[in-house]
């Protein structure tokens, strides 16, 4: 900063001297004293401007609001996470979790009544790739959906989401609702279960191979959209009779896992030894995760391979996907 300021001032003096109509004259009779006076003035001006910049920048640092982080967080002894939505999960990332009361999404029931939404979960994105420590999306290609002018909402567009070929059909349980999303650092649009029609002031949305909906033109601004979703689920009897001959695209997206610890394989065999189909195997693993793992906002570091106290949203889901690959 000091060199930059002194260079700019010196260049301006040089340019003014060259453009002057008469030779420059100083306040002193000798050139040496004039030169020394200019150098002293240049040094004092440079230091003054630099000091002013530092003081102003320091004041602005504390005056301007800073969101989602505290001052001087780098001096803390422990890293921190904030509860929320993420498109990656890192196993073993045990940190103090901060809570936030900020409203990020509102849901308005348009048809069906509030009781019809009891137990509904709002789906963001499915993570399909696992390298032994990280869950992320690698092989989920997105493709755009073509909009048509909405007949119910003038000025808005309808996007009809296609049904996946070769997937078993579920009983219809349509729900209609409106979602208002505040600005988020993701292009994911949250929906319930399986969306069929999405309507809003959107010109482009993408659908990936996990049926997750993306708004590539989100622009970090609020967005509102209406959705009609099928929330029906097959009965346990239908799931028990379902074929285990999964299509190749299902195996590629959901079953591509690295080699896991031998103890996990042994645990999977122990938990599912009495199950005769994939549904009962999945149910046995789900019950194990529900009863053997806890959730806490203040996790403690653990040297165990599978910690008993962990964040269920990341650790338990990862274990479930590792336990299931040979059957599901």
Q: Residues 261-293: pLDDT tens digits?
A: 889 889 999 999 999 999 999 999 999 999 998
Domain coordinates in residue numbering, the chain: 2-63, 103-129+136-230, 236-323
**Rounded to whole angstroms, how far apart are CA atoms 5 and 8?**
5
Q: Is 227 exposed, middle or buried (0-12, 13-18, 19+ CB in 10 A)?
A: buried
Q: For the residues 149-170, what does the mean pLDDT come to?
A: 78
Q: H or E stretch including 199?
A: strand 194-200
- CA dihedral in degrees (287, 293, 296, 298; nearest 10)? -160
**Tokens matching residue 36:** 């020394």
The confidence score (pLDDT) of residue 153 equals 81
Mean pLDDT computed over every residue of the chain = 79
The confidence score (pLDDT) of residue 69 equals 44
66 has pLDDT over 70:
no
The confidence score (pLDDT) of residue 183 equals 84
Q: H or E stretch including 226?
A: strand 223-230
Q: Packing angle between helix 315-323 and helix 278-292, nearest 10 degrees?
A: 150
Q: For the residues 19-32, what does the mean pLDDT come to?
A: 74
- 8 A C-beta contact, residue 292 and residue 308: yes
The confidence score (pLDDT) of residue 139 equals 63
CA atoms within 13 A on the CB side of 159: 24
- Give the total residue count for the chain: 328
Q: For the residues 129-151, what does the mean pLDDT come to?
A: 85
The confidence score (pLDDT) of residue 18 equals 77
Q: For the residues 6-21, what does the mean pLDDT come to?
A: 79
Calculate ∠ Cα 139-142-144, nearest 5°. Answer: 170
At 285-322, the pLDDT tens digits run: 999 999 998 877 777 765 544 433 333 344 444 444 44
**Tokens matching residue 133:** 């420590």
CB under 8 Å to 103, separation ≥6 — which residues? 182
**Rounded to whole angstroms, how far apart are CA atoms 158 and 213?**
14
């Amino acid at each position: 900063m000091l060199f930059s300021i002194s260079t700019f001032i010196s260049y301006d003096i040089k340019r003014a001297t060259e453009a002057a109509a008469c030779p420059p004259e100083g306040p002193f009779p000798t050139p040496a004293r004039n030169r020394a006076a200019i150098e002293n003035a240049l040094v004092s001006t440079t230091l003054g401007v630099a000091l002013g910049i530092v003081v102003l920048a320091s004041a602005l640092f504390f005056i301007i609001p800073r969101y989602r982080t505290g001052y001087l967080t780098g001096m803390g002894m422990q890293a921190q996470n904030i509860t929320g939505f993420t498109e990656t999960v890192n196993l073993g990332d045990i940190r103090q979790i901060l809570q936030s009361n900020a409203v990020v999404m509102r849901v308005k029931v348009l048809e069906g009544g509030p009781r019809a939404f009891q137990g509904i979960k709002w789906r963001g994105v499915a993570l399909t790739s696992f390298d032994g420590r990280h869950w992320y999306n690698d092989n989920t290609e997105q493709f755009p959906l073509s909009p048509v002018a909405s007949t119910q909402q003038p000025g808005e567009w309808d996007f009809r989401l296609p049904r996946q070929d070769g997937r078993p059909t579920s009983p219809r349980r349509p729900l209609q609702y409106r979602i208002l999303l505040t600005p988020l650092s993701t292009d994911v649009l949250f929906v319930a279960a399986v969306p069929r029609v999405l309507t809003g002031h959107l010109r482009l949305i993408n659908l990936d191979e996990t049926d997750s909906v993306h708004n590539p033109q989100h622009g970090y601004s609020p967005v509102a959209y209406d959705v009609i979703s099928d929330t029906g689920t097959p009965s346990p009897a239908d799931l028990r009779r379902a074929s285990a001959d999964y299509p190749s695209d299902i195996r590629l997206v959901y079953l591509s896992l690295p080699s896991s610890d031998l103890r996990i394989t042994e645990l999977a065999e122990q938990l599912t030894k009495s199950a005769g189909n994939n549904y009962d195997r999945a149910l046995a693993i789900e019950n194990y995760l529900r009863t053997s793992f806890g959730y806490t906002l203040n996790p403690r570091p653990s040297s165990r391979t599978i910690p008993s106290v962990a964040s269920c949203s990341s650790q338990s889901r990862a274990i479930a996907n590792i336990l299931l690959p040979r059957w599901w």
